[in-house]
Amino acid sequence: MNVPNTNLPRVVIVGGGFGGLTLAKKLKHQEVQVVLIDRHNYHTFQPLLYQVATAGLEPDSIAYPIRKVFKNRKNFFFRMAEVEHIVTETNTIHTNIGELPYDYLVMATGATTNFFGMEGVERASMPMKSVTEALDLRSMMLQNFEQALLTNDLAERESLMNFVIVGGGPTGVELAGALAELKDHVLPKDYPDLDIRRMNIHLIEAAPRVLAAMSEEASAKALQFLKKLGVSVWLDTAVTHYDGELLHTNQDIEMHARTLIWAAGVQGAPVAGIDVSSMGRGNRILVDEFNKVKGYNNIFALGDVAAMITEATPKGHPMMAQPAIQQGALLAKNLMVMHRGGTPKAFQYNDKGSMATIGRNLAVVDLPKFKFHGFFAWFVWMFIHLVSLVGFRNKLVVMINWAVSYFKFERGVRLIIRPFKRKAEIEEKEPTEHHA
């Protein structure tokens, strides 16, 4: 991997998400060699992926080059690679570009989509955990409208114009709201020869309420806002099967829709090589209160992939940005303390609150001491997300895009850069092409 050997302890960080990036930043002035490995050469601000998918933002507005974050940084090395496995006996990490020994290994690999074993849903639905998937979803939605123009079959047209979102968490709620605004303000202008009123947006949630992790007040308001925007919300409903056209649920409900967006769950994305006894529920790695992986002395995990099980957090911390950021900041201090033989500090999560936006002037915010909704909540949501973006340019571009969208009801990036086909569609064509 062409990383020089030095007399400094080597900290290898796998993953350039919120946790990994924070940890690498906080180690800036420490006497360590930091090697950050990620499959992409950029950091993604995942909370705004849904805006890329719904043509509100371009991907370079929410992605930032990792090398630029750490430019002119001494003893820091970035390698774009796929981590294949680790060999804990020799303290070595193996990747598709070579292997590298470590003194300390930190896994900040985040999470991946959890389809709960439903292979048909996985093949036919659209996840949204990466920039690539968000762009694929945007292309597919626009392709469906282009195709709807060409068919005279009313049932097929409505199927192409129906959108089903599975999962009533922040991602699902925000995506449903964004699609509803597209329906009301943008698509009628783009497709004047289509009756956009026939477009239906369905949000399916297995729990009794949307935004189940937030307060009941926030859930009730979010539901009210969604209905106000024309979204059909199905509570206590779980998807049982989807083949790309017809969806079945546990309530014997059937829906015809060419687009199903899966936002119903995530699971940890650990590195292969960790002992099975160190793995917990949801494919997350069990760690102690110092983020140390159970059973190992020099391997750590943080963020979504880590499950810190305590009496206060029997299910681990929420799989969101703030726990990862806070764990990364503390781990940077603890690594140096432990390296010098000191006693590390136990992690305590500082819950700063949660929020979700449903649409223009519609948002809900739960803070430790205050709960509010409406325009002020929407403004707070925008401000927090804006200042959290990495890079001044990204902040400026997003702010301009939001301002234009707010005053002109316009989404300027409705582009099909590359046509997209789902796994199921590709698999259906492969045998025919092979036979020919």
Neighbours of 319 (CB within 10 A): 20
Task: Give the containing element (helix H, strand E) for 18.
Answer: helix 18-26
Distance CA 260, CA 264 (A): 11
Query: What is the four-CA torsion angle of 210, 214, 217, 222, rounded to 10 degrees?
Result: -40
The candidate with the shortest Cα–Cα distance to 202, out of 153, 249, 266, is 249
Q: What DSSP character marks residue 13?
A: E
Q: Which of 82, 146, 156, 174 is catalytic?
A: 174
Distance CA 36, CA 21 (A): 9
Tokens of 382: 């925008």
The candidate with the shortest Cα–Cα distance to 28, out of 369, 228, 328, 429, is 328
Annotation says 174 is catalytic: yes
State CA 13 to chain mean position distance: 19
Tokens of 409: 């009801």
Strand order across the 33-38 sheet:
76-80, 33-38, 10-14, 104-107, 299-301
Residue positions annotated with a catalytic role: 174
